[in-house]
Amino acid sequence: MSTPVNFPQIEKSNLLGMNRQDLEIFFAGMGEKAFRATQVMKWIHQMNVDDFQEMTNISKSLQQQLTDSAIIESLEVITDQLSEDGTRKWVMRLNDGNCIEVVFIPDDDRGTLCISSQVGCALDCSFCSTARQGFSRNLTTAEILSQVWLASRLLDEEKKPGRKITNLVLMGMGEPLLNYENVVKAIDIFLDDFAYGLSKRRVTVSTAGVVPAMDRLADRHDVQLAISLHATRDKLRDELVPINKKYPLKELIAACHRFMEQRSPRSRLTIEYVMLAGVNDSEQDAKELIKLLDGLSVLINLIPFNPFEDSGYTTSSNNAVRRFQDHLMKASITTVIRKTRGEDIDAACGQLVGKVSDKSRRQQKFIKPRFGMNS
């Protein structure tokens, strides 16, 4: 009688996270020509196919070989919510049980998908609810791609006009520039004509100011960069965006200048500025902001603070936001007030929380003492 042999399980490659170069190497390893890479990319990203048997311009034998050695695996949708204003939010579960959030924001002529780059966030910005979740890990390129792949499939199923992804913003959970390698590879695929074919102006990386990675990004991708500035003085920014202690304003602004020097003269850097009542919304703040950004070509996005429990901050009044905007506009700086979207489903900026198995133990800091324990 023969005893059953337990062969080690060979992990199949997930093609979803492979850029064109990876796929070419993958196919070369199978003795296939490079053009297979673009063929398969089109099936995956343009036709939303995840079954090799449906790839009709590929021979049956290659389809079988692919089924044996590879997989197109995306995330699992746990919740799917539609806001009154058309914003749609998904909670997606990763293989390890962690969850992330993804938001689709339709506007007049565009559809923006806000995606996550990490599970939780390590930066601990004081006004952001994602920060309270602590940090677990970086997302893989496949997990970043899955968000776009799944969202575009689910939006297609709605069969409604105006529900297409035209813009991608890395403004969900996490700090994209602390997951540099996986993020830039994902951007390769966003921009590739055989995949999503998005123009570089329609892909935005938002950063709290990881200076060395800003320099690296400038060399690698010509995408839109947004800086989460929020303060004009180091003392305040240290408190709001603690990574400022590592890369203070002087270094951050110098990095912005270097970044823009590599861009076409017409391009603009986006500056995000969350409006916190009595904290950073005075006339003096506006004046300092104008001075700080002198010589940079920018578009300022004023973001009304989205409150959450025990945040300790309140949103600036409409009047204060408008006054602030007026000051900047008078200094000829294009300034827009970001509309809050998807409020009824907690899909607004800084409200994305997912489910994070926190390795930073930061969640504990915010657990409220039970009655009688704090006396």
Catalytic residue among 24, 32, 99, 101: 101
Task: Tell me the per-residue interface mask from 269 to 288 with ligand SAH, x by CB under 6 A, - otherwise.
Answer: ---x-x--------------
For 195-218, b/e burial (b = at least 16 CB within 10 A) is bbebeeebbbbbbbbbbebbeebb
Stretch that binds ligand SAH, among 4-12, 217-225, 301-309, 318-326 (CB under 6 A): 301-309
Taking the complex as a whole, the smallest distance from the CB of residue 337 to ligand SAH amounts, in Å, to 12
The site map against ligand SAH for 154-193 (x = CB under 6 A) is -----------------x---x------------------
Compare residues 173 and 260 and give the one whose CB is closer to ligand SAH.
Answer: 173
Residue 194 C-beta: closest distance to ligand SAH, Å: 28
- Are 324 and 275 spatial neighbours (Cβ–Cβ below 8 Å)? yes
Q: How far apart, in whole angstroms, are the C-alpha atoms of residue 81 and residue 291?
A: 42
| 44 neighbors 19 (Cβ within 8 angstroms) | no
Considering only residues 44 to 73 of the shown chain, the ones binding ligand SAH according to CB under 6 A are: none
Task: For residues 75 and 162, give the distance between their C-alpha atoms in angstroms, rounded to a whole number.
Answer: 24
- Closer to ligand SAH by Cβ: residue 66 or 349: 349
Do 14 and 70 form a contact (C-beta atoms < 8 A)? yes
- Residue closest to 298 by CA, chosen among 320, 317, 270: 270
Interatomic CA distance for residues 114 and 111, integer angstroms: 10
- Establish if 127 lies at the interface with ligand SAH (CB under 6 A): yes
Taking the complex as a whole, the smallest distance from the CB of residue 350 to ligand SAH amounts, in Å, to 2
- Measured CA to CA, the distance from residue 299 to residue 302 in angstroms comes to 10
Q: Which region, judged by CB under 6 A, interacts with ligand SAH, from 51-59, 87-95, 201-209, 255-263?
A: 201-209
343 is catalytic: no
Binding residues for ligand SAH, how many (CB under 6 A)? Answer: 17
Are residues 176 and 207 in contact, defined by beta-carbon separation less than 8 angstroms?
yes
Instruction: Mark whether 32 is an active-site residue.
Output: no
Backbone angles phi, psi at 206, to 5 degrees: -110, 130
Binding-site ranges for ligand SAH (CB under 6 A): 125, 127-129, 171, 175, 206-208, 228, 272, 274, 303, 305-306, 349-350
Query: What positions carry a catalytic annotation?
Result: 101, 349
